[in-house]
Structure 1
Amino acid sequence: MKATDNVLFYMRIEDVFFIKCRGLVATGKIEHGSVIVGDALNVKTENGNQVKENIRLDGLEIFGHITVATEGMNIGLFFKIPHVQTIDEALEILPIRQGHIFWK
């Protein structure tokens, strides 16, 4: 999948952070389109293998909370995974990694 494919949003994950008892944050630069809090996103490997579908986006971060992010912005995508204590537990639920691709 390339940013020029017929998708509404495309972002390659640069890093993944864990916030204890809250969830995961995936950072990267939006290469195409826009994303809004509440959107359902999909994630694939660089080879195009499906990792997870219809993941609800719970928040956007860029020096504070925002509700819409557009092409060219460096952002953090926040996904709530409450009641987990470690990044390993969180990644079992939402197995995202550096290099994976979010799209919708």
Structure 2
Amino acid sequence: MTIAVSHVEYQTEKRHYAHIDCPGHADFVKNMITGAAQMDGAILVVSAADGPMPQTREHILLARQVGVPALVVFLNKVDLVDDPELLDLVEMEIRELLTKYGFPGDDIPIVRGASKPAYDSPADPEANKCIADLLDAVDSYIPEPERELDKPFLMAIEDVFSIEGRGTVATGRIERGVVNVGDEVEIVGLKEKADKTTVTGVEMFKKVLDSGQAGDNVGCLLRGINREAIERGQVLAKPGTIKPHMKFECEVYVL
């Protein structure tokens, strides 16, 4: 069971994906918001044996609220359902739910399959066909995102940790622009004055990079910054390009 948001990467014939695994359990729906806010598209996993759960509705609504542009549905555990008509009913319920919350329910691909046999038998083509079908649906249905590479660097900080002997690392998804090793950046937010620092390293999925760009989930190693001086809720930005505000208009959804 997923509790916190986690990140993995994989490759299809058409694309390279940074996949954010979000919690599905009702007790951890709030943690899903962190991942959903970073998504260019989403795979909604629904159990064929249970049908849409209350948290499924929460996930669809939150995806709409944070602006996830497109969804693909994976109807999981179909091996536990013997009645084809029951599968059709579950699929119909999912489509109605998607439509209710503003997604094109009639058009969204719903791929039927069973993840456990695929996980247990990775070399079995038949067991893994549903996974291949799912990735094909994601490749074809989720639009290619437009990256704002020409704008000033901005990254919302998702997490912070220390590496002994090296310094403090801030992780997150780059919203816009490019950051290079050696670039000066500002830590903005939650305090009156921004702190300046230099990016001394960039990593993505345990690979050392010379730079990161819009859409990448990276960790930035920051020079001379203590772990206590930076936190989630702040942003890294090109110096002088962003100003924090004390008042703003927003929509609030109370869980």
TM-score (norm 2): 0.32
Equivalent positions of 1:1-104 (< 5 A) are 8-45=152-189, 49-53=192-196, 55-63=197-205, 64-81=207-224, 90-91=226-227, 95-104=229-238
Deviations 1:58-85 (A, max 9, x none): 000012100011101100001245xxxx
* Equivalent-residue separation in structure 2 for 1:43 and 1:74 (angstroms): 18
Q: Which amino acid aligns with 2:193?
A: Q
* Equivalent-residue separation in structure 2 for 1:19 and 1:80 (angstroms): 12
Alignment correspondent of 2:103: none
Query: Secondary structure of 2:177's match?
Result: strand
Q: Which amino acid aligns with 1:103?
A: A
- Percent of aligned positions that are identical: 35
* More helix per residue: 2
Which structure 2 segments of 5+ residues have no match? 1-147, 239-255
Query: Secondary structure of 1:78's match?
Result: strand
Q: Which amino acid aligns with 2:156?
A: R
Change (3 A) 1:44 1:80: closer
Which structure 1 segments of 5+ residues have no match? 82-88
TM-score (norm 1): 0.75
Query: Secondary structure of 1:57's match?
Result: strand
The count of aligned residue pairs is: 88
* More strand per residue: 1
Larger Rg computed on CA atoms = 2
Q: How far apart are residue 20 of structure 1 and its match? A: 1.5
